[in-house]
A and B are shown apart, each in its own frame.
Chain A
Amino acid sequence: AQKITQTQPGMFVQEKEAVTLDCTYDTSDQSYGLFWYKQPSSGEMIFLIYQGSYDEQNATEGRYSLNFQKARKSANLVISASQLGDSAMYFCAMRPTDNYGQNFVFGPGTRLSVLP
């Protein structure tokens, strides 16, 4: 079984500063993917970044980077230069990568508030 833990129910960050959202996971799969999604108040799920379990380099996507530490089973999201529009719920998720037919397993989420 897969499990995602996000220990920060809420986080505050000052505009233009960087913030790290924590995510740890547990899985028995050898090949898996780790994902981060942003969910604004509108409810849509916005895909931010992906990290494969066999990728040696940390993924980056614009202001988003994923700090992947496989031995510690952590996949923290780092947002640099926070903007007011970054205020939203953030979900860490995982899925086996050898089977697209498997659903995502989501963590409980972290609500990020960016302060002006």
Chain B
Amino acid sequence: GAVVSQHPSWVICKSGTSVKIECRSLDFQATTMFWYRQFPKQSLMLMATSNEGSKATYEQGVEKDKFLINHASLTLSTLTVTSAHPEDSSFYICSAMSADYGEPGQFFGPGTRLTVL
């Protein structure tokens, strides 16, 4: 139980294009999902909290117009990087919250590695 998937696992795109990353909870419903970003040799930093049926809450310094988050159902949240630039190249990881499986209470997807050329 408590499996979270991400798609794609890696993506390469040209500068100026948009990229959509999907985060799915496969065997549970998640009203809350989180999006983290990780630069090489650094830690995970929270970008935004995604709540089903409502607007995402972004952390300070994260551009909401650049990183569009949509949590349209209880099992799917998407992160769209609009007009991507090389500095957006990073590892993006989502986690989904569930109180049904005990700790850790949030379960991570395998991550998506984005490279912008």
Question: Which positions in A face B, CB cutoff 8 Å?
Answer: 33, 35, 42-45, 47, 50, 52, 91, 95, 97, 100-101, 103-104, 106-109
CA distance A52 to B32 in the complex (A): 22
CA distance A111 to B21 in the complex (A): 28
Interface of B is mostly: strand
Is there contact, CB below 8 Å, between B34 and A103? yes
User: With contacts A104-B44, A109-B42 known, what are 11 further pairs, Cβ within 8 A?
Assistant: A43-B38, A43-B111, A44-B110, A45-B108, A45-B111, A52-B103, A95-B106, A100-B32, A100-B97, A103-B34, A104-B46
Cβ distance A42 to chain B, nearest Cβ, rounded Å: 8
Query: Per-residue CB proximity of B67-105 to A under 8 Å, as 1/0?
Result: 000000000000000000000000101010111000111
Q: Taking CB as reference atom, which chain A residue is nearest B59?
A: A103
Q: Taking CB as reference atom, which chain B residue is nearest A92?
A: B43
Q: A43-B113, A45-B93 are in contact. Are A100 and B43 (CB under 8 A)?
A: no
Is there contact, CB below 8 Å, between B43 and A91? yes
B25 sits at the interface (CB 8 A): no
Cβ distance A91 to chain B, nearest Cβ, rounded Å: 6
Q: List 26 A-B contacts (CB under 8 A).
A: A33-B103, A35-B104, A43-B38, A43-B93, A44-B108, A44-B111, A45-B108, A45-B111, A50-B103, A52-B103, A91-B43, A95-B105, A97-B103, A100-B97, A100-B99, A100-B105, A101-B32, A101-B97, A103-B34, A103-B46, A103-B95, A104-B46, A104-B95, A104-B106, A106-B44, A106-B45
Is there contact, CB below 8 Å, between B43 and A108? yes
Cβ distance B115 to chain A, nearest Cβ, rounded Å: 13
Question: Which positions in B face A, CB cutoff 8 Å?
Answer: 32, 34, 38, 42-46, 49, 91, 93, 95, 97-99, 103-106, 108, 110-111, 113
Q: Taking CB as reference atom, which chain A residue is nearest B42?
A: A108
CA distance A50 to B103 in the complex (A): 7
CA distance A103 to B57 in the complex (A): 12
Contacts of A95 in B (CB 8 A): 105-106
CA distance A47 to B46 in the complex (A): 18
CA distance A109 to B45 in the complex (A): 12
